[in-house]
């Protein structure tokens, strides 16, 4: 098999993986069977597609093949009971039991992964594994834990779903609000995992960002009066709108240097409309804005400026003050400091940054490097750039940081 063929099959498999697993999970009610069958379908695709060609509907081919492999496994294990019978029923036109408020297998899988019985970190890890098709190693790196630890976490979560008989369905309308916060958190983390993908030839995993936005749109239709749902969708749209301008020549392009003519104006308009809707709810006394709404508002300010120099930094800092009141984390404080640097200068911002316990976070080192560079403290900036380069696996970001560091060397 040629390397190009192998990469294309891998790309298709990653894009379709969540759909295949979600469909099989709903059909067979067993995550292990769904995952194993999906993996067997990939092996079959790698054998057949280079010879026969990629089918017109590769996702359908993978799902059908995986379904057949799952039935074969059930037969081999002599489990011709309710699972096997259910599988056979679903294959024909006989109506089956309703599975929730919306007919979307992947959203049902997210709600299953976000069941309150599961620990928050397990919910995210399981969703990234089952919906995004990330390897255990990739998820472990995203969580800064050992691969064995992450494997155990995912295995325990799947066992809990199985042993507690957690159904693969979207909860009823009366219960859905109990899981909304967890689902939104997971959807946003799926988006971030795609947008901030580490390493590889593709600095952004569009399959993950696209899937997160798709789920966000479904959630918006499901809960049209939930302002945080609208805020999350707006946030993802406004970030994704800048995707095409975020990289050039294999290198990261920071917000202040991006060609804003390359931004997706349709996505920006949609995101701004959602932010205005959220603001109208707040003005009407319908609750205080949550962190997704505030982050969306920050991104609305950035995308409202035709030039980086036109950014209303005082408004950005004020919004970060609101965000920190809602979510008082060091990362929020770091992002606020970046805005403070534009408003009050790099000295003030550096004093804030140096108080934050984030020395294991590459963005902290990158922020310090930039502030030190602006202050003319080149030797210290060089060390901070080295630390940032060593702390990220994103090839495009490493290229950007390396260029900035090397420019210091020439000064």
Residue 357 belongs to some domain of the structure: no
pLDDT at 199: 47
Residue 94 has a pLDDT of 33
Report how far residue 188's alpha carbon sits from residue 228's, in angstroms, rounded to the nearest whole number. 12
Domain that holds residue 114: 99-202
Greatest alpha-carbon span in the chain: 74
List all residues 6 or more positions away from 218 whose beta carbon is below 8 Å from its beta carbon. 102, 104, 107
Where does a domain end: 80, 97, 114? 97
Residues 106 and 190 placed together within one structural domain of the fold: yes
Task: Return the closest-CA partner of residue 211 out of 134, 156, 145.
Answer: 134
Residue 140 belongs to some domain of the structure: yes
pLDDT (tens digit, 9 = 90+) per residue, 94-131? 333 444 444 578 778 888 888 888 888 888 888 888 87
Domain boundary among 264, 294, 313: 313
Distance from C-alpha of 53 to C-alpha of 373, rounded to nearest angstrom = 53
pLDDT of residue 139: 82
Position 278 in a domain:
yes
CB 399 within 8 A of CB 203: no
CB atoms within 10 A of CB 8: 15
Q: Do 197 and 173 lie in a common domain?
A: yes
Within a domain: 398: no
Non-local (6+) Cβ contacts of 119 within 8 A are 157
* Residue 38 included in any domain: yes
Do residues 255 and 271 both lie within one domain? yes
Cα 271 from Cα 300, distance rounded (Å): 8
- Among 39, 70, 97, identify where a domain stops: 97
Lowest mean pLDDT among 151-160, 161-170, 379-388: 161-170
Are 303 and 271 in contact by the 8 Å Cβ rule? The answer is: yes
Report the pLDDT averaged over residues 75-83.
Answer: 63
CA distance 313 to 301: 9
Q: Which distant-in-sequence residues (6+ apart) come within 8 Å of 89 by Cβ?
A: 96
Q: Provide the mean pLDDT of the chain.
A: 86
> Do residues 197 and 116 both lie within one domain?
yes
What percent of the chain shows pLDDT beyond 70?
Answer: 89
Do 28 and 73 share a domain, yes or no? yes
Check whether 407 has a pLDDT greater than 60. Answer: yes
Query: Do residues 240 and 279 both lie within one domain?
Result: yes
Phi-psi sector, 131: left (phi>0), alpha (psi -120 to 50), beta: alpha
Q: Is residue 214 part of a domain?
A: no
d(Cα 367, Cα 193) in Å, to the nearest integer? 21
Structural contact between residues 114 and 171, judged by C-beta atoms closer than 8 angstroms: no
| Same domain, residue pair 86 and 121 | no
Model confidence at 309, pLDDT cuts 50, 70, 90, reads very high
The number of distinct structural domains making up the chain is: 3
Q: Are residues 88 and 3 in the same domain?
A: yes
List pLDDT tens digits, range 194-248.
887 654 456 678 878 888 898 899 889 888 889 999 999 999 999 999 999 999 9
Q: What is the DSSP string of 215-284?
A: HHHHHHHH-TT-HHHHHHHHHHHHHHTTGGGSEETTEE--GGGS-GGGS-HHHHHHHHHHHHHHHHHHHT
Residue 323 lies in a domain: no
Is residue 90 situated within a structural domain?
A: yes
pLDDT digits (tens, 9 = 90+) for 341-389: 999 999 999 999 999 999 989 999 999 999 999 999 999 999 999 999 9
Same domain, 55 and 93: yes
> Over 50: is that where the pLDDT of 327 sits?
yes
> What separation in angstroms does the CA of 361 have from each of 150, 317, 334, 397?
20, 22, 11, 14
Q: Tell me if 258 sits within 8 A of 322, measured CB to CB.
A: no
């Amino acid at each position: 098999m040629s390397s190009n063929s192998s990469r294309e099959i891998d790309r298709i498999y990653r894009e379709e993986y969540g759909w295949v697993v979600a469909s099989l999970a709903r059909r067979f009610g067993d995550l292990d069977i769904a995952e194993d069958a999906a993996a067997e379908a990939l092996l079959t695709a790698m054998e057949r597609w280079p010879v026969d060609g990629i089918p017109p509907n590769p996702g359908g081919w993978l799902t059908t093949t995986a379904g057949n492999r799952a039935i074969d496994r059930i037969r081999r294990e002599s489990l011709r009971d309710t699972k096997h019978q259910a599988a056979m029923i679903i294959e024909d036109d006989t109506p089956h039991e309703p599975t929730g408020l919306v007919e979307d297998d992947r959203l049902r899988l997210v709600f299953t992964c976000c069941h309150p019985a599961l620990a928050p970190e397990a919910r995210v890890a399981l969703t990234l594994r089952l919906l995004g098709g990330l390897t255990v190693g990739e998820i472990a790196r995203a969580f800064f834990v050992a691969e064995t630890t992450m494997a155990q976490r995912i295995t325990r979560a799947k066992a809990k779903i199985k042993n507690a008989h957690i159904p693969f369905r979207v909860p009823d309308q009366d219960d859905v609000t109990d899981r909304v916060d967890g689902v939104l958190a997971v959807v946003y983390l799926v988006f971030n995992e795609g947008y901030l993908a580490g390493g590889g030839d593709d600095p952004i995993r569009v399959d993950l960002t696209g899937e997160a936005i798709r789920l966000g749109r479904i959630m918006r239709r499901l809960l049209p009066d939930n302002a945080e749902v609208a805020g999350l969708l707006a946030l993802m749209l406004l970030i994704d709108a800048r995707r095409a301008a975020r990289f050039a020549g294999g290198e990261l392009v920071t917000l202040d240097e991006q060609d804003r003519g390359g931004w997706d104006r349709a996505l920006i308009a949609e995101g701004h409309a959602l932010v205005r809707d959220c603001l109208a709810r707040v003005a009407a006394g319908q609750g205080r804005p949550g962190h997704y709404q505030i982050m969306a508002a920050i991104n609305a300010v950035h995308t409202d400026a035709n030039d980086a120099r036109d950014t209303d930094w005082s408004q950005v800092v004020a919004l970060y003050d609101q965000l920190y009141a809602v979510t008082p984390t060091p990362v929020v404080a770091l992002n606020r400091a970046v805005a403070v640097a534009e408003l009050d200068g790099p000295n003030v911002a550096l004093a804030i940054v140096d108080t934050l316990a984030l020395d294991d976070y590459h963005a902290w080192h990158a922020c310090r490097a930039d502030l030190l560079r602006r202050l003319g403290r080149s030797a210290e900036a060089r060390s901070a750039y080295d630390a940032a380069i060593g702390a990220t696996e994103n090839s495009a970001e490493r290229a950007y940081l390396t260029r900035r560091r090397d420019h210091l060397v020439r000064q």
